[in-house]
Amino acid sequence: MPELSNWLAFAAIALGMVLTPGPNMVYLISRTLCQGRMAGFISLAGVAAGFVFYMVCAALGITALVMAVPYAYDALRIGGAAYLLYLAWQALRPGGRSPFQVRELPKDSPRRLFAMGLATNLLNPKIAVMYLSLLPQFIDPRAGNVLAQSIVLGTTQIAISVAVNALITFLAGGIAAFLAARPLWTLLQRWLMGTVLAALAVRMMADARR
């Protein structure tokens, strides 16, 4: 088990990170508004599975191998940036719609919702970097089994992320009602979100490999 002070510090950092808007939050809110809370929660399950994947990889040392191979990291980074650019184009294109705007859509199956949530998380290289660079700082080999400490810390991060995102998903319907009653806000939000998503993609592409 990790030291209590290390565990609390890591939990505080994990909370701060999940409260920072990113691809996972954008996808969960947009899916909830498009298809309802249940779809949002199924998508969240896919996001959580992505966290579990990275946690296991980090605990077993596989993430370190991925980060050591330039092409593997670059492929992940480029894939994530391309996905963000696609979302930005959907928001900014002429006649496009905001991912937060309520609209009629073909309902995706639970399997597809889960897969899309999983892909959104796996295509975010910052998650891999977080587990590679952040976890080791809170592990003390003198405190016991390193693998067990990694799993405890990783599970803590997953629990915090899932809890916060579940609350956001639950409240997303209020955003839909707000935007439906205010068309101008919908237009402004569409351009704002498209710009933010494009900026995130550019930043992801420009980030130097660590």
Q: How confident is the model over 75-133, as pLDDT tens digits?
A: 766 776 776 787 778 767 776 655 555 555 567 899 999 999 999 888 876 677 677 76
Q: For residue 16, what pLDDT band results from cuts at 50, 70 and 90? A: confident
User: Cβ distance 24 to 120 under 8 Å?
Assistant: yes
Mean pLDDT within 8-37: 80
What is the per-residue pLDDT across 120-172, written as a single tens digit (0 to 9) for each? 888 876 677 677 767 777 777 777 777 888 889 889 999 999 999 999 888 88
Q: Report the pLDDT value the prediction gives residue 210, as an integer from 0 to 100.
A: 45
The Cα–Cα gap between 169 and 167 comes to: 5
Which string of DSSP letters, residue by residue, matches 105-161?
-PPPPHHHHHHHHHHHHHT-HHHHHHHHHTGGGG--GGGS-HHHHHHHHHHHHHHHH
Q: For residue 67, what pLDDT band results from cuts at 50, 70 and 90? A: low
User: Cβ distance 28 to 162 under 8 Å?
Assistant: no
Q: Which helix (H) or strand (E) holds 55?
A: helix 37-60
77: helix, coil or strand? Answer: helix
Q: For residue 209, what pLDDT band results from cuts at 50, 70 and 90? A: very low
The position carrying tokens 């935007």 is: 179
The total of structural domains in the chain comes to 1
Q: Which domain holds residue 128?
A: 4-206
